[in-house]
Structures are given as C-alpha cells and as structure tokens.
Amino acid sequence: MEEKKLEKTVSETDRKEPTYEDLKNYCNQLMMQRNQLAERLSQVTDVLNKLPWLFKVVENSTIFDNLFVGKCVQEIKEILTVPEDIKDSTDKK
C-alpha cells in the first residue's frame, strides 16, 4: 500500500503543469528562433538567386569591365568557400 502511495507522489511531482507564464515565455523563445531562421533563410535565398547572375557576368566577361568581373569572381569564391567554423564542426562528426 505504501509503494502505491509513494509512486503516486513521485509521478505527481514529475508532472508539474507549466504555468501560463512558462508557456508564454516558451512561445516567445520559439517565435524569436523562428524569426532568426526566417531571416537566415532569406539571406541564403538571396545568395542563391544572385549566384547565377554572377556566373553570367563571368561567362560574358568580354562585355564587362575587368574590375567588375574580378569583383564577381571574388564574390563567387567567397560564396563557394566553406567557412572554417563549419569545416571544424563537420570534421568532428
């Protein structure tokens, strides 16, 4: 009989219901994360949309100024180069 009483007490304390404030804070955290992810996705989409145009400039380099073509090539290199912090994290896996 005491074991059932003890089990009930333990399970009741484990199931503490979150308060309204807890849920509100959690929702705010999720919304901030969502906004950060949406912003990052927008940045990545912008880069992916720009990349084909950069390659077009390089393909048609004869009609563009050499300085401009050089800037486009440099930007392509920057986009396609994997940052060191990402390399390090994938090497550890």
Q: pLDDT at residue 10 above 80?
A: no
- The reported pLDDT for the residue numbered 5 is 59
- Across the range 22-51, mean pLDDT stands at 96
Identity of the amino acid at 70: G
- The reported pLDDT for the residue numbered 11 is 60
Domain boundaries, the chain: 17-91
Q: CA-CA distance, 70 to 73, in Å (whole number)?
A: 5
> Which tens digits make up the pLDDT trace of 77-90?
999 998 877 767 66
- The reported pLDDT for the residue numbered 23 is 95
Q: pLDDT at residue 27 above 60?
A: yes
- How many CB atoms sit inside 10 A of residue 71's CB? 14
